[in-house]
Structure 1
C-alpha cells in the first residue's frame, strides 16, 4: 500500500523578486523595524502623526501612562497661562501667535504628549534676554488649576547676551507643554525649571534647545514636588564651539514619579557637553527615571562629552531606573564617557562624620544635603538657591533618615 504524501509548493516570487525579500502577507513589515538610534525618532508637531500610547514603547515603558489619558488623548485648554514675569532691563515678555516665525526653531516633538501640546496651544509665551550685563527673569506659574492644559514657551537669548531665566512651577496642575530655548552666537544663558507642584499635580514637558556658535547653555532641572513629573530636555549643539550643560536634582517621596530623559546632540565641531543628574528617593512607591542619550555625529569632530547619574536610596520600597546611552559616529573626538550609580549611604562617609562627634541622624542628613546641593548651588540666584535648600531641608526633616 502506497502512502499518500501531501505537498505544498511555495508561490513563485512576483516580478522576479528574489525569494525571501518580499513583504510578509500581513503587510507593513518594513514599518515595524524598531528605531535603532535617538536621531531616528520621528518628529512632528501634529498629534495625529503619533499612535496612541500603550506603555510598551521604549520612551514610555517606565511612565504610568494609565494616569495620563486626558493629556495624551483628550481635549486640552490651549489658552494663555496665568504667568508673572519679573520686570528687568534686558528682559522682554510677550505672547505671540502660533504661526510666528520664532516658533519651531529649537526642535519638534518626538512623543505624543509633546505633539498634543503643540497641536492644542493657541499662543506662545516669548521671553527674551538681551544686553551684555547679566540679567535675571523669574517666570512664575502657580495658578494653573486641575483642568488638562497645553502650553508653549519660547526663551531666546540674543547674540552675546548674558542671562538667567527661572521657570517656577507650583500649586495644582495637569499640563503638557513644550519649551523652546534659542541661544544666539556668543551668548551665555542659564535656564532653570523648578517643580514644586502640589502632590496631585501632573506635569509633562519637553524642552528643546539650539546653541549658537561659541555660545553656552546651562540647563538645570530641580524636581521636588508633583505626583507625576516627566521633563525631557534635548540640547542641540549644532554650531561650532557650542557648550551645553544639563544638571538635575530631584527628591522623590512615597508614591511620587519623577522622570527625566536627557538628550545631548553634538552636531558641529569642537562642541562640549556635561550632564549631571542626582536624585534621592524615600518612601513606598517612590520612583525615579533617568535616561541619558548622548549622540556624537560624524560632523562633531573634536567633541568633549561626559554624562552621569547618581541616585541615593534612603528607604525600602523605592525604585530608581537609570540608563545612560552613548552613540559615537566619529573617532576624531577629545573624549566621551558615561556613568550611572544607585545605592545607599556610604558607610565610610557616615563613619568619618560620626568620628567627628556628629550623630548618626545628623550625619545622614548632611550626606543627603550635600549630595543634592551640589547641583542646586549652580543656579546662580541666591534667593532661589536658599529657597530650594530650605525645601530639601523640609524633605529631610520628614524623612525616616532623620528618625
Structure 2
C-alpha cells in the first residue's frame, strides 16, 4: 500500500512537515476553498501540488471533488454542472492526479452525534448514536413525518432525553450534526437543512440511483481517456437518515453500480469504517470480489454498540477485522501488481492532540498511531507469507 494522509490545505492545523515525519509519502487533499460545482483551475491545482512537492511529498489522490446537489437531484443546472466536473477532471489529470474520490450522499458528507466521546483510556473518538439523531430530528429539526422513521421506544426515549437537555446541550447536538454539511462553518442552520431536505421530497432511492448512474455515464468516458480512477466513497453512515436515501451502502449496491457503468474508471474508495458499520457487509470479501475496482483505501474500524450506534475504534480493534482486510489487500496488490493508496482514516485524539486545534477525526498523533499500526500489520503479513506486495514502502 502507498501510505498517505489527508490534509485540508494551508488552513489545516496539521503541517505538511509533520505529515512527512509520520512516514507517509503522499498527501490526499482537495481545493476546499472552491465552491461546489465550480471548475478547479489548472493554476490552482498546480499551486497546491507545488506546495506539497516542496514539502517532500506527492499528490496523486483527490479527496474529494464534490458532486453538486444539482447533479444528485437532477436539477435544471445538471448538464452545466457535469460539464464543469469533466473540466475539473481534465485539469487534475494535467497535473498527474490519477485518483479522484467523490460521494453521492444527499446533503450530508458524514454524520456524527459526538465529536469528542471519551473512551476508557481518556482518548477521544467520534460517535454516532441513533437515539441522539432521533432527538435532533424529532425535536430540534422537527422534520415533517420524521416519527415514521423511528420505533416507538426510540421516540419515547428521545422525548424524555430532549426534555432534560439544557439549551447549550441542544445547541451542541445541532452544531455537531450540521458539521457534516458542506460549507457548514457558520453558514448552515437547522432551518437551512430542513429546506435542503425538502428539495429531495420527490427523490427516493431508485431515483437517486438513476441520477448516480446518469452522472457516471456522463463523466466516466472522460475519466477513461484521462487515466483517472473515479472512486465512490460509501455512505457514512450506510443507511437512510433524515428521510434522505442512501444508495452506496452495501456490496450489492456497489456491484449494481459497476454493472450499470462498467467503465474501467468507475471505481471504489474502500472505506472499512463506513462499510463496517453494517454487520452484513463482508469486508475482506468485498476486497476479494471487487478488488479490481478499488483505487483508494480508507482503513479505519468502528465498534458497533447496538442498533445504528457505533464509535470509531482504534485501527486494529473494533469490528472491522483489520488483519483480514489488509491480508486481502496484500493478495490484491500481488495479483494486480500495483500499490493502492491508503490512508489511516480518522483517529483518536491522544496525547498532545488534546491541546492542538484540528479537524474532527483528523488529529495528527491519533492518525500517526494508526498509520504505524497499519504499516506494521502489512509488513507482518508480507513477512509471514514470504512475499512482498508490489511497491511496499519501507
Q: TM-score, normalised by structure 1?
A: 0.29
Q: TM-score, normalised by structure 2?
A: 0.30
Q: Greater CA radius of gyration, 1 or 2?
A: 1
- Taking CA–CA contacts closer than 8 Å with sequence separation of 6 or more, which of the two structures ends up with the larger relative contact order? 2
Larger proportion of strand: 1
